[in-house]
Chain A
Amino acid sequence: MELFLEQLINSLQLGVMLFLLASGLTLVFGIMNVINLAQGSLYMIGAFAAATAVAHGAPFVIALLFGAACGCAAGVLMEITLVRWLYGRDHLDQVLVTFGVILFVNEIVSIVWGRSPIFMSVPAALSGSVNLLGVPYPVYRLVVIGIGLAVAVALYLLIGYTRIGMLVRAGATHREIVEALGVDIGLLFTFVFGLGGLLAGLAGAAVGPLFAVSVGMGEQILIPTFVVIVIGGLGSVRGAFIAALLVAAIDTFGRAYIPSALEHLFSASTADTLGAGLSAVSIYVFMAVVLILRPRGLFPVASR
């Protein structure tokens, strides 16, 4: 029971982190019809910026905001210099350019910070563990869950109840009409891309104390993020939220239970190896099943 509870919180934490990345990605795709492989690079920039801020004595909250701001700035810069020229182009061109951005940013980061992973400390108050219904659980992971849920609520309010959110929703489904009504769609796109960068930067800054802050950290998280937005339905923030939680739950519970379940059937060593393989593919199997049943994801956006 304790194990189940602990894994449940773990999956929630992984889920909200995936959501932070996926929400930006799915907005960019849904509204601008752009595939941005470099979302992971914005995440890495956020992590490096936050770790550097902490190393220079900035308070932790300021470091988080700085990471998010750098992610946002990098996103806006990327939109203005590169992505803007790709709106009318083929997805393959977009993949090519944004893949190039990954390589470019990785090189820049390794020139500035070096290839060695850097250290990011957390304030003493957040570094221990608390007793949560009988399970000692790291305080910092609870903080990450808090950040993720707060962002989800903020996004929900922003998209559902503000003027800019209305434009974003309208832009996703009826782009031409929005343009015809005199909205500066270029500005809207820059905003959406910056928002995506902000969320990715915040995600990177938030996981800095949990993960190795190193060159290439973005690519590791990119594939699960794409799985999330495909399952959730491209362009749907709500879909991304539900899918992130589902993918995280399947991944976490798979890793926790598949190997021990297989031990009833096979020898210990075979079960461990087989279990590792099966749990590694579990989220892709889930994606395949979802795509067979609902080819456009769980929450497809209306007009696409």
Chain B
Amino acid sequence: MNRLRTSLAVFLLAALCCSSATAAGPVKIGLITTLSGPNGYTGQDVRDAFLLAVAQEGGKLGGVPVNVLVEDDALRPATGREIADRFLQQEKIKILTGIVFSNVMGAVVPDVVQADAIFVSPNAGSSQFAGADCNKNIFVVSFQNDAANVPAGVYANDHGWKKMVLMAADYVAGHDMVTGFKISYKGQGQEIYPKLEQTDFSAEIARIRDIKPDALFYFLPGGGGINFLKQYAASGLKIPVIVTVFSLDQQTLAAVGDAAAGMSVIGHYGVDFTNPQNKQFVKAFFDRYHRLPTFYAADGYDTAHAIGSALRAAQGDDSKLDVIREALRKADFKSVRGNFKFGPNQYPIQDWYLMQVQPGADGKLAIVTKTRVVKDYGDPFSSKCKM
């Protein structure tokens, strides 16, 4: 009897000890991103910036120890979903982030929401979850796809461009981008949708030449943008081009050389932003990784800090989802973009800038921030979101 009691006590003690150990252990964060393939640099920047934020706090976010699990979705929605299911079911992760591509986000997020976990996007921002299908568990720190293009359309109107070619990669974000552009653009737009993984754009360039537009707007993220720009520059076409940062970032610029000189870019983040948070971020990122951060990195860094602010509020208990959600909604962190808050659909309200590709201080081509085009701009879908 005595013996039984003792072993029972030991058992209870052990159970108690282990359960308390779980609660006090680091909070697991699942980071699913695109690391392989020609667009691998995008996910690499998200991951590196996120881990930089963690490292700067000595393995913590918002004062809470975290354990970031990184997996590569290889830009395959099905792969992303498999990883997410494993994170949710086996690892019991409650906070997921990392996704760059909207098609992967579209496959992953429904499972995350169903498992009552929170997804904080550092890049992908499809229209799918911004309107009627918005969800209290989905936060997008980067931008809404369509939103970036509305200022680009305004810019096109200001230049009196009546007929334009609107070219975008044939996937969910590509269609979002063109839709967004057409919200503000008043002229006539001829749409072209090349494949997302396409490498040769000679047929499209010939079509553009044949259509003879006043200007060209395109959305080709990562490697596709590099291919197109190299080929466009050699084609002898001299049509004004307006793009968003998604098609021309620091990495793309380095890979195309002079081909991008003089281009106009609409973006929400520039390395040359002068707010103190950005200055320390660019320096820390450069010191650690020896390259300039792209907007993928900037948004990844902001995402880490947003999650940090929520973990601080929940005192490191990732089962208190209500507290985490409420803290996230406040956007109580210093953004490298300066002005930042969440709209009613939990997508950002932020400023958009006109940037120009021109020689920077060191004589090399850089993306230089010029003027603010719109201030405190949300997205066209938030009014449809009833949360």
Contact = CB atoms under 8 A, between A and B. Distances in A.
A116 B294 CA distance: 11
Q: Which 10 A/B pairs are nearest by Cβ-Cβ distance?
A: A129-B236, A136-B236, A216-B37, A212-B226, A138-B234, A10-B202, A276-B193, A255-B203, A212-B223, A272-B191
A108 B194 CA distance: 30
Interface of A: 2-3, 6-7, 10, 13-14, 106, 110, 114-119, 121, 127-129, 135-141, 209-217, 219-221, 251-253, 255-256, 259-260, 268-269, 272-273, 275-277, 280
A3 B207 contact: yes
Contact of B257 (A14, A119, A138, A141): A119
Interface in B204-231: 204, 206-207, 209-210, 222-224, 226-227, 230-231
B235 interface: yes
Contact of B206 (A10, A106, A128, A211): A10
A260 B251 CA distance: 34
Contact of A3 (B193, B209, B230): B209
B200 interface: yes
Nearest to B237: A136
B36 interface: yes
A114 B44 CA distance: 10
B170 A280 contact: yes
Contacts of A220: 38, 197, 199
Given A268-B190, A276-B193, A276-B194, A116 B204 contact: no
B127 to A, nearest CB: 15
Given A3-B209, A117-B223, A210-B230, A221 B256 contact: no
Nearest to B291: A116
B35 A115 contact: yes
Given A3-B209, A117-B38, A214-B38, A256 B193 contact: no
A138 B205 CA distance: 11
B36 to A, nearest CB: 6
26 contacts: A10-B203, A116-B251, A116-B291, A119-B256, A141-B234, A209-B230, A210-B200, A211-B227, A212-B38, A212-B222, A212-B223, A212-B226, A213-B255, A214-B41, A216-B36, A216-B38, A216-B40, A217-B38, A252-B202, A255-B194, A268-B191, A272-B191, A272-B192, A273-B193, A276-B194, A276-B195
Interface residues of B, number: 43
B199 to A, nearest CB: 5
B40 A212 contact: no
Given A119-B256, A138-B236, A255-B203, A219 B170 contact: no
B8 interface: no
Contacts of A272: 191-193
B191 A221 contact: no
Contacts of A268: 190-191
B125 to A, nearest CB: 21
A106 B209 contact: no
B15 interface: no
B254 interface: yes
Interface string B180-197: 000000000011111101
A129 B203 contact: no
Contacts, number: 139
Nearest to B179: A269
Contacts of A13: 202
Contacts of A276: 170, 192-195
Given A117-B38, A128-B234, A138-B236, A214 B223 contact: yes
Contacts of A217: 38, 199, 223
A28 B42 CA distance: 36
B231 A210 contact: yes
B210 A215 contact: no
A6 B206 contact: yes
A119 B44 CA distance: 18
A140 B231 CA distance: 10
Given A129-B235, A210-B200, A116 B37 contact: no
A116 B231 CA distance: 19
A42 B206 CA distance: 30
Contacts of A209: 230, 234
Contacts of B37: 215-216, 219
A211 B203 contact: no
A121 B233 CA distance: 12
Contacts of B38: 117, 212, 214-217, 220
B236 A128 contact: yes
Contact of B41 (A3, A117, A252, A273): A117
Nearest to A268: B191
A35 to B, nearest CB: 22
A138 B231 CA distance: 8
B46 to A, nearest CB: 12
B67 to A, nearest CB: 24
Contacts of A269: 191
A116 B236 contact: no
Contacts of B41: 114-117, 214
Contact of B226 (A117, A121, A127, A129): A117
Nearest to B35: A115
Pick the most buried of B44, B194, B235: most chain A CB atoms within 10 A of its CB. B235
A277 B35 CA distance: 27
A165 B360 CA distance: 56
Interface string B332-363: 00000000000000000000000000000000
B40 A115 contact: yes
Contact of A141 (B191, B202, B254): B202
Contacts of A110: 36, 40
A211 B291 contact: no
A113 to B, nearest CB: 11
A106 B251 CA distance: 19
A280 B234 contact: no
A117 B251 contact: yes
A148 to B, nearest CB: 14
Given A118-B255, A280-B195, A212 B202 contact: no
A125 to B, nearest CB: 13
